[in-house]
Structure 1
Amino acid sequence: MPKAKKKMDKFTTLTSVAAPLPMINIDTDMIIPKQYLKTIKRTGLKEGLFAELRYDENGKKDEDFVLHKAPYDKAQILIAGDNFGCGSSREHAPWALLDFGFRCVIAPSFADIFYNNCFKNGILPITLPQEEVDKLLDDASRGANATITVDLENQEIKGPDGGTITFEIDPFRKRCLLEGLDDIALTFEKGDYIERFEAENAAARPWI
């Protein structure tokens, strides 16, 4: 069985300006509208990210939208409202976020399917109490001088004022992000077992 290449970039420590988007119930259609779902590629989707919020019906930029403003147009961390990623289960949603440059999304809660899809695509979703999200939103509003650091190994978020917030994460998902393991890479970790099973199965049932 050939050795698999890791499909995801590792997530260890991330320092970035955080883009504040304090809206609740941002669904997957708002993250990436249906007209952008024709592709099966994971790239080229950043233009469609939050398209209905970023552009008017004529395709003109809304210059007031946060992702059109420096330094947030280069942000790798997004801070959002409750129930982020609700709606239909489209993997294009984390693809679009990743293609724009986001590696971490922080919110009080996430829709389950979107939450799971984030881990499969190298994005760290962090769930925090509303009061801590509000503090990070306030930090983010300061702009370029308000970078925050997400330390996955130690499960800490360090704010621009030196404060630290801890977060919880499933140990298995943490390992996958730290090592850059997607579902394919995890399967190849079982390569010896799979080869042994195939050999034993071929010997026991040679007619197959």
Structure 2
Amino acid sequence: MTPWRPLSARAAVLASPDIDTDKILPARFMKGLERHGLGVHLFADVRTGDPAYALAADRAIIVAGRNFGSGSSREHAVWALTGHGIRCVIAPSFGSIFAGNAASNGLLLATVSDADLATLADHLAAVPDAPVAVDLHAQEIRTGNIMVGFAIDPAVREALIAGLDDIGRTLRHQDAIAAYEAAH
């Protein structure tokens, strides 16, 4: 994985709750184990040809409703998001398996309160092309005159900043693992 880079981008607002992995990437596109090329199918069943559709334009951030990524355990949904160029999803909560898959693939999930979500969504409805800055180090999101904090598991935050996947995190403890194996 690539270490986290500062993010300032436009956001797509998809504030409905319970957007599950089948909405993110319909099952018919999950036939293989190839992670590349899935971004073109992101939200395939709800995407329209309308240029005003939230994901029709280049957006690297999604502002979503509660329980984003619920549903199946398929990692393909995360691959579709990152393949489309999404680097961060901001929501009050996430599906637990989806959250693990996101962490393993470098997708930042920023957990905000319902009130902060409403503030961000209202601002972006009024100013749809407003830049949104996500500061992982400070755990802050800024747009216009708005600043909200977000929660993230400290281990996931550290791994994203360092650009470490599960194997990379394990290899950080290689000396301790070797010592344990030698002793047992």
If the length of structure 2 is used for normalisation, what is the TM-score?
A: 0.91
| Contact preservation (8 Å) 1:84, 1:111 | yes
What is the distance in 1 between the residues matched to 2:69 and 2:40?
Answer: 18
Matches within 5 A, 1:99-118: 99-118=83-102
What is the distance in 1 between the residues matched to 2:180 and 2:118?
Answer: 52
What is the distance in 1 between the residues matched to 2:69 and 2:5?
Answer: 23
SS of alignment partner, residue 75 of structure 1: coil
Aligned to 1:75: 59
Structure 1, unaligned runs of 5 or more: 1-7, 56-60
Aligned-pair CA distance for 1:39: 2.2
Structure 2, unaligned runs of 5 or more: none
What is the distance in 2 between the residues matched to 1:109 and 1:153?
Answer: 20
Aligned to 1:41: 34
What is the distance in 1 between the residues matched to 2:64 and 2:174?
Answer: 39
Matches within 5 A, 1:1-208: 8-55=1-48, 61-68=49-56, 73-141=57-125, 142-144=127-129, 146-161=130-145, 163-196=146-179, 200=182
| Contact preservation (8 Å) 2:109, 2:152 | no
If the length of structure 1 is used for normalisation, what is the TM-score?
A: 0.81
What is the distance in 1 between the residues matched to 2:136 and 2:52?
Answer: 32
What is the distance in 1 between the residues matched to 2:22 and 2:52?
Answer: 21
| Contact preservation (8 Å) 2:25, 2:41 | yes
Question: Displaced runs of 4+ in structure 1, greater than 6 A?
Answer: none
What is the distance in 1 between the residues matched to 2:138 and 2:177?
Answer: 34
Aligned CA RMSD, in angstroms, stands at 1.8
| Contact preservation (8 Å) 1:9, 1:180 | yes
1:180 corresponds to which letter in structure 2?
G
Q: Which has the larger radius of gyration?
A: 1
What is the distance in 1 between the residues matched to 2:144 and 2:52?
Answer: 24
